Amino acid sequence: MDWHRGAVVLIDVHSTVLVVTLVAAIVIVVIAGTSVAQVGDQLAEQTGLGRIFVGALLVAVATSLPELGTDLTAAAADAPDLAIGDLLGSSMANMAILGIIDLRYRGRILPAVELGHTRIAAIAIGLTALAIMGLDAPPGVHVAGIGVTPIAIAVGYIAALAWFRRVPPIGVATPTPTPFRQPLTLGERWAGSGPLLRRFAVAAALLAVAAPALALSTEELAERSGISQSFLGVALLATTTSLPELAASLAAVRLGAYDLAVGNLFGSNAANMAMIVFIDAAYRPGPILADVDASHSVAGTGAILLMALALASLLSGQTNRAKRLEPDSSILLIAYIGAVIAVGLAT
């Protein structure tokens, strides 16, 4: 009897530690995500790169670090379904976040952003489609243990960044030269952004440390209920690792930086797919996409569907909105719930 009581006390203490860790990680994620958005907005203004580019690159990569850290750990621990499910589920959750934010601010977000987001959305959709194709690739085709599909995705992502760099940001004013002073070059503007870059790096580091603790605590609490790894990754772990995107996007919207918020969400989806190559490298048995459950194709298709709906909402948002009802964002959220259910049924 005494042994039973001691075991119950240990379980209660362990659960309490998990809950405390969860709450503390959420607080840190919200603070760091808000800081990432604030500094990112200042960098976009100071460097002249624009909120779309900074949101899709710097802020998106910073808020995607939790997925990378969590999924590298999962892959190294021989849990490929958890890792890939988290990435695809996070891409789905990011589109749900876009719908939630648009509903929260009564449809003011999507009609106000630049059409430059269509380029980012197209890249994210294309890279996700490649990941789905990789699920059916022959397992013997690899380079140093890394599947050819993750390598192709990484190359495509880098090419997209070069494309974004060459295409002028939409809606960003070009400085007018004066007779007495030539405008600063991009390198000179970045050189003067040292303090902002340091603040951004600190906030990103906090996200990289706190969010995996948040995700792993959630994972351990959920595993006690016997949830499958695939569904756990898509539905629960992905939601917790997407909290940085939620915090950063909400902070950006409050600043009036709508393009930064939307760029962060579409850019995070592209970054999620590019991360597969690192996760594949951490997974030693072989190409990771060859070893995951077939249900991940449902999650990937769901992510593409949600991004397509979000893209359609962005393009039609300026003319198809009612004051009290937001059908586009509502459909986006309904589709997210349906996609999560479909993944659950497929596992």
Residue corresponding to tokens 């906030």: 203
Residue 175 inside a domain? The answer is no
Task: Note the pLDDT of residue 95.
Answer: 94
d(CA 335, CA 333): 5
Q: Are 316 and 328 in contact (CB under 8 A)?
A: yes
List, in sequence order, the alpha helices (H) in 181-257.
Answer: 186-191, 194-223, 229-231, 238-241, 243-254
Q: What is the 3-state secondary structure (H, E, C) of 17-62?
A: HHHHHHHHHHHHHHHHHHHHHHHHHHHHHHHCCCHHHHHHHHHHHH
- Check residue 284 and give left, alpha or beta (phi > 0: left; psi -120 to 50: alpha): alpha
Copy the structure tokens of residue 229.
Answer: 């790894």
Buried b (16+ CB within 10 A) or exposed e, 11-27: eeeeeeebeebbeebbe
- Kindly state whether residue 178 falls inside one of the protein's structural domains: no
Tell me, yes or no, whether 259 lies in a domain: yes
Rounded CA separation 142/160 (Å): 23
- pLDDT, position 295: 82
The whole domain housing 70 covers 2-170+183-346
The residues, ordered by sequence, that sit 6+ positions from 52 with a Cβ below 8 Å of its Cβ are 114, 116, 117, 120, 169, 170, 171, 259, 260, 263
Q: Does residue 176 fall inside a structural domain?
A: no
Q: Residue 146's beta-bridge partner residues?
A: 143
Q: What is the largest CA-CA distance in the chain?
A: 89
Q: What's the confidence (pLDDT) of residue 108?
A: 79
Residue 304: name the closest of 64, 128, 93 by CA.
Answer: 128
Q: How many domains does the chain have?
A: 1
Per-residue pLDDT of the chain (347 residues; tens, 9 = 90+): 454 444 444 445 666 777 777 778 778 877 888 888 889 888 888 877 788 888 888 899 888 887 888 888 888 888 888 889 889 999 999 999 999 998 888 777 888 888 888 889 999 999 999 999 988 776 667 787 789 999 999 999 999 888 876 665 554 444 444 444 444 455 555 556 778 888 888 888 888 877 667 666 666 665 666 666 566 666 667 777 788 888 899 999 988 889 999 999 999 999 999 999 999 999 988 889 988 888 889 999 999 999 999 998 887 755 554 444 445 788 899 999 999 899 888 87
Cα separation, 194 vs 175, whole angstroms:
21
Q: What is the pLDDT of residue 175?
A: 43
Q: What is the pLDDT of residue 347?
A: 72
d(CA 18, CA 195): 36
Q: What are phi and psi of 146, to 5 degrees?
A: -105, 130
Q: What is the CATH number of the domain that holds 104?
A: 1.20.1420.30
Q: Is 339 among the domain residues?
A: yes
Q: Is 107 left (phi over 0), alpha (psi -120 to 50) or beta?
A: left
| Residue 335 within a domain | yes
pLDDT on residue 180: 45
Are 296 and 90 in contact by the 8 Å Cβ rule? The answer is no
In a domain, 177, yes or no: no
